[in-house]
Copies of this chain bind each other. A is one copy, B any other.
Amino acid sequence: MKFRPTPDQLSYTFGGREPVLTVAPGTAVELYTEDCFGGRVQSVDDLPSVVCEFPYLNPVTGPIHVEGAEPGDTLAVHFVSITPARDWAVSSTFPHFGALTGTHTTATLHPPLDEVVWRYDVDVQAGTVTYHARRGDYSVALPLDPMHGTAGVAPAAFESRMTIVPDVHGGNMDTPELRAGVTAYFGVNVPGALFALGDGHCRQGDGEVCGTGVEAAMNTVVILDLVKGVATPTPRFETDEALMSAGSARPLEDAYRMSQHDLVTWSAELTGLDVLDAYQLISQAGEAPVGNVCDPNYTMLAKVAKKYLGTATAYEGIHARLRSLRS
């Protein structure tokens, strides 16, 4: 099944929207996602603050109703492939947005930094995105590493949140770990889960320090499935090699705490280890990939190689099962 939203089908929130599509658990869908600028920034002369209009930023494709999903279940989203839809992508500074500038909340009396757009060449065959300096003639090819910045479900408690916000429902986590090969787990808060996806990046540095990645429209294949009766407190990812927990909060140490806390307690639960024993093991074997340090909540992951957790299997082995479906 393929779905490409018309412009008026694009969504700018998680929650508060009717589904654009309904699928049965286990369905593979190919989704077209527009870039975070709604495709309006096409050249270095298209300044985002001019061509984009608040709140029509960071559109997502969806929401998708997954049949049978109920609060208390877990939605498993296996990312089969993420492919740039165009041979170019863009990045930019944006007034009072990013980690090395005064912002709306880290309010300063400075005028904004210059608003500058960079246009990248995307070569899917070669597996590269090429950076070009704007104020000099330096270019360099970086590895293509496609990912989605924004993925999630409708929040709990009757909330509707801008797509730019990451929280326990997912949203704009902006982590390079959300690439093909990953199964993402989201706790279901409303009937049908209402999954949506957007904000493709050809690649992104840790923290997305200037506020944007290499922003691109994507054609992405996901398999949507359910783990019935199993709750998930915060987004989690699984690859063939690793388990990950996401935490989104401010200050950044709270994103770290949330993610590490979930990985410690989840590891304890999966292995039968005492919680302090799991705390120690993660303290020495764990990683802490940085997602974003620029969005309304910051995001960090806690990650551990499965091989250090013995024979533990997460979510009834659904990752391995979905992985095998791909081929």
Q: Which residues of A contact B (CB under 8 A)?
A: 12-13, 15-16, 54-55, 91, 93, 99-102, 104-111, 113-114, 116, 118, 129, 131, 133-136, 138, 140, 142, 156-162, 203-214, 247, 249-254, 256-258, 260-262, 264, 271-277, 279-288, 290, 293, 298, 300, 308, 310
State whether A113 touches B276 (Cβ < 8 A): yes
Tell me which residues across on chain B come within 8 A of A16, comparing CB atoms.
16, 158-160
A208 to B286 CA separation, bound complex (whole angstroms): 9
Compute how far the CA of A108 lies from the CA of B300 in the bound complex, rounded to whole angstroms: 16
What are the residues of chain B within 8 A of A290 when measuring CB–CB? 256, 288, 290, 300
Q: Are A205 and B100 in contact (CB under 8 A)?
A: no
Cα distance A116–B93 in the bound complex, in angstroms: 29
DSSP majority for the A interface? Answer: loop
Q: How far is the CB of A83 from chain B (nearest CB, A)?
A: 19
**Nearest CB in chain B: distance from A283 CB, A:** 4
Whether A260 and B109, one on each chain, are in contact in the complex, defined by CB atoms closer than 8 angstroms, is: no
Question: A209: which of B214, B249, B279 is its contact (CB, 8 Å)?
Answer: B279
Interface pairs (18), CB distance under 8 Å: A13-B159, A16-B160, A55-B158, A93-B279, A99-B260, A100-B108, A100-B261, A101-B102, A131-B280, A131-B284, A134-B276, A160-B160, A207-B260, A211-B283, A213-B284, A250-B253, A251-B252, A256-B293
Are A293 and B113 in touch, CB under 8 angstroms? Answer: no
| Given known contacts A274-B135, A293-B256, A284 and B160 CB-to-CB distance under 8 angstroms | no
Measured between beta carbons, the chain B residues less than 8 angstroms from A138 are 271, 273, 277, 310
Instruction: Check A257–B157 contact: CB distance below 8 A.
Output: no
Are A298 and B253 touching (Cβ within 8 A)? yes
Kindly list chain B residues whose C-beta atoms are within 8 Å of the C-beta of A249: 105, 250
- CB contact under 8 A between A101 and B107, given known A114-B276, A290-B290: no
Bound Cα distance A107, B212 (Å):
18
**Chain B neighbourhood of A135, CB < 8 A:** 273-274, 276-277
Whole-angstrom distance between the alpha carbons of A298 and B293 in the complex? 15
Task: Report yes or no: B250 in contact with A203, Cβ–Cβ below 8 A.
Answer: no
User: How far is it, in angstroms, between the C-alpha of A105 and the C-alpha of B297 when the chains are bound?
Assistant: 11
- In the bound complex, residues from chain B placing their C-beta under 8 Å from that of A213 are 283-284
When distances are taken between beta carbons in the complex, the residues of chain B under 8 Å from A273 are: 133, 135-136, 138
Q: Given A156-B55, A273-B136, is A108 in contact with B118 using a C-beta cutoff of 8 Å?
A: no
